[in-house]
Amino acid sequence: MSKRFDAAVADLPRLHTQLVESPLRPVAHSVSDLNFAGIYVLYESGKPVYVGISKNLTKRLRNHLERSSNKAAFAFPRAKDALKIAKASYTARGSRKDLMRDLDFLDAFDRARGEIRNMSVRALREDDSFKLFLLEAYVTSEFGLSLGGFEPH
């Protein structure tokens, strides 16, 4: 393996510890002071439910609260799960655009956005994008969560 990869992997447990020891704060009140690249974990009722990375955590967390299926990356699948909608549709029927016109789906999507607004978040700055990608997979695995957007299509 490469020295860069080995060094990054060796650093993952330390970064994970820093992340879980970082302040837990409400999503709705803390998005403005996270103007940096890094990793974040959303918590619901004290349990981690989502791990994400971004070049700008403030912008990313705000996106989770928007009424856009393309920006609210966590609310969209939560709404689909709530309505027991199967995996992605690659046809017009059942597409993101189609679902966003469905009133029942919009209600579920808005509920999911509200749930996220009421969650808490921990965040950690990390400027090395290579390390950040590895850290996202590591933290997701440590919490026993799904890799969500990384599932093959």
How far, in Å, CA of 122 to CA of 40, rounded? 6
Burial 18-41 (b: 16+ CB within 10 A, else e): ebeebeebebeebbeebeebbbbb
Report, as an integer, the average pLDDT of 14-32: 90
Instruction: Give percent of the chain above pLDDT 70.
Output: 92
DSSP 3-state of 2: coil
The residues pairing with 122 across neighbouring beta strands, listed in sequence order, are: 41
The residues pairing with 26 across neighbouring beta strands, listed in sequence order, are: 120
Q: What is the pLDDT of residues 47-81, one digit of tens each?
A: 999 999 999 999 999 999 888 878 888 999 999 99
Contact 60, 35 (CB under 8 A): no
Q: Of residues 70 and 150, which shows the higher confidence score? A: 70
Average pLDDT value for the chain? 90
Give the pLDDT band of residue 148 (cuts 50, 70, 90).
low
Contact 74, 42 (CB under 8 A): yes
How far, in Å, CA of 78 to CA of 87, rounded? 12
Q: What is the pLDDT of residues 72-101, one digit of tens each?
A: 889 999 999 999 987 766 777 778 888 999
Domains, the chain, ranges and CATH? 3-145 (3.40.1440.10)
What are the C-alpha distances in Å from 75 to residues 36, 85, 98?
23, 14, 16
Specify the pTM: 0.90
Report, as an integer, the average pLDDT of 114-136: 96
Closest by alpha carbon to 65, among 56, 55, 74? 74
